[in-house]
Structure 1
Amino acid sequence: MDLQLAGRRAVVTGGSRGIGFAVGRALAAEGAAVALIARNAHGVEEQAARLSAETGARVVGIAADTGDDASVAAMAEAAISSLGGVDILVNNAAAIMTSASGDDRLEEQINVKVRGYLRCVRALTPGMIERRWGRVINIAGLAARQTGSVTGSIRNVAIAAMTKNLADELGPQGINVTVVHPGATRTESMLQAVEEHAAASGRSPAEVERQFADSVSIGRLVEPEEVASVVAFLASPLSVALNGDAVSAGGGAKGAIHY
């Protein structure tokens, strides 16, 4: 299927690793020009060069902190200048949560992930409005649908609510806004968490991963590339029927029914 992304221009925050990098790769492979955004300048530029060589697409790396107004404004200006405009925004940047992260880090999570997403939307959607076409995909997480982490649930529920508000506001202007909820995904940070759990419990990493996978209906953890495939579709013109909606990309949580 041709996703009709050739010639489109995308910004992916949190784009130097994990799901963000996989999304950048998927969009570049479909012919989009991509700006990867991350806080580490050297790291994101290196990853951009890697994707450009791999896909033949125009891929640039831009250092920015989505928790800072001025940094986001400068990033938007650089991305628009480098790509000639931005049609697609994938909000993925977040402060890393570990098993040691407490609820006292809620404000950090809200500032970087929730306010950060909104900063990027405000900086990059004016051009989409002018052209009467755009896509915004907000990466949240299945903690929005389950207990276990007050901070994780609050930040992801907030993103879902923000998504629906933006969809109603921007939809009539040709911009679709959706939220993707990954579950446990085999990213670098997830595998590190598995190692930590294994060391703390005296079990092997394989046993710990199997425990996580037991709650997934496909029987294994989802790979970053598989989440990226969902995001690439949502970024395409073919996804016009989806606006304001939440898409679960966790391999299927057993038991729960969402409608």
Structure 2
Amino acid sequence: MGLELDGKRAIVTGGGTGIGYAIALELARQGAQVAITSRRTEVLSEAARRIKDEIGADVLPVTADTGDDESVKALVATVHNAFGGVDILVNNAAEQPAQHGPSYTDATDEWFQRQLNVKVIGYLRTIRAVAPLLIENGWGRIINISGTGSRQTVSVIGSVRNASVTALTKNIADELGPHGINVTAVHPGPTRTERYQELRGDQEVENVIGRVVEPEEVAWVVAFLASPRSVAITGDGIVAGGGIPGFIYY
């Protein structure tokens, strides 16, 4: 089954490392034009070089901060000028860890506000900037990367920011659906990124498949949701964490 992504134009925030990098690589592999963004110019340049070396595709690195509205507007303008438009937005920019320490007492006001600004309001900023282009197309896909913390306790900040992304996704999906735009969330669980290795190392994973999920395995899910083939799915979340034992969701 082809994903029909050839020629589609995509923005992947937080695309320089980890899951974001894997998503950018997979979308480019499927024939999409891809722009990646983060606050770290050198990381973006290295990511673009690695993708070029691996599959021969050029990606557009754009330094931007999703925590700042003017920076987001400049990002979308840059991509629009380079690609002639945007078809796909993957919101992935976030900081790890979500919270420094396991207790609610570790959820400081300053860090809480920072995490909501980047991951929740930041996602909304990019949607506000990109949505007019998708409406103009009469077609589009928005995929918000959340996390399994939206369905289980991980930390106060981690759960709240991911649950907020879930609520954001459904609200935007209902509003943009009549314009041919599907909006979904993907909830990765433990995923073998560089940051995961730094924070958790070889810590045992309790999931159904019995191992840490690889970044490309999350990217395959996102690529499908970014494609025209996913037209029947909108407003909902797809859990890509290897299965949480024991839970039944209706």
Q: Shorter-chain TM-score: what band?
A: over 0.9
Indicate conservation of the 8 Å contact 1:45/1:60, yes or no: no
Indicate conservation of the 8 Å contact 2:14/2:92, yes or no: yes
Alpha-carbon separation, structure 1, partners of 2:43 and 2:156: 31
Can you give the 5+ residue segments of structure 2 that lack an aligned partner in the other structure? none
Shift of 1:46: 2.2
Shift of 1:99: 6.4
Indicate conservation of the 8 Å contact 2:24/2:34, yes or no: yes
**Counterpart in 2 of 1:147?**
153
Indicate conservation of the 8 Å contact 2:207/2:243, yes or no: yes
Indicate conservation of the 8 Å contact 1:134/1:176, yes or no: yes
Please give the root-mean-square deviation of Cα atoms over the aligned residues, in Å: 1.2
Shift of 1:98: 6.1
Q: Which moved more, 1:54-63 or 1:149-158?
A: 54-63
Secondary structure at the counterpart of residue 189 of structure 1? helix
TM-score, normalized by length of structure 1? 0.91
The reply to whether residue 241 of structure 1 matches residue 198 of structure 2 is: no
**Counterpart in 2 of 1:191?**
197
**Counterpart in 2 of 1:2?**
2
The reply to whether residue 166 of structure 1 matches residue 189 of structure 2 is: no
Runs of 4+ residues over 4 Å off in structure 1: none
**Counterpart in 2 of 1:176?**
182
Indicate conservation of the 8 Å contact 1:13/1:37, yes or no: yes
Shift of 1:147: 1.3
Q: What are the Cα deviations for residues 205-253 of structure 1, in whole angstroms up to 9, with x where unaligned?
A: 3xx2xx22xx200111100000000000000000000000110000100
**Counterpart in 2 of 1:157?**
163
Shift of 1:56: 2.8
Q: How does 1:1-259 map to 2 (within 5 A)?
A: 1-97=1-97, 100-101=100-101, 102-104=106-108, 105-195=111-201, 205=202, 208=203, 211-212=204-205, 215-259=206-250
Aligned residue pairs, count:
244
Shift of 1:63: 0.4
Alpha-carbon separation, structure 1, partners of 2:177 and 2:222: 18
Alpha-carbon separation, structure 1, partners of 2:139 and 2:98: 37
Shift of 1:52: 2.8
Secondary structure at the counterpart of residue 191 of structure 1? helix
Distance change (3 Å), C-alpha of 1:190 and 1:235: same
Indicate conservation of the 8 Å contact 2:98/2:158, yes or no: no
Q: What percent identity do the matched residue pairs reach?
A: 54
Can you give the 5+ residue segments of structure 1 that lack an aligned partner in the other structure? 196-204
Secondary structure at the counterpart of residue 27 of structure 2? helix
Secondary structure at the counterpart of residue 245 of structure 2? coil
Secondary structure at the counterpart of residue 61 of structure 2? strand
Secondary structure at the counterpart of residue 176 of structure 1? strand
Alpha-carbon separation, structure 1, partners of 2:198 and 2:15: 18
Q: What are the Cα deviations for residues 112-170 of structure 1, in whole angstroms up to 9, with x where unaligned?
A: 00000000001111111011000000000000111130100100000000000000000
Indicate conservation of the 8 Å contact 1:99/1:193, yes or no: no
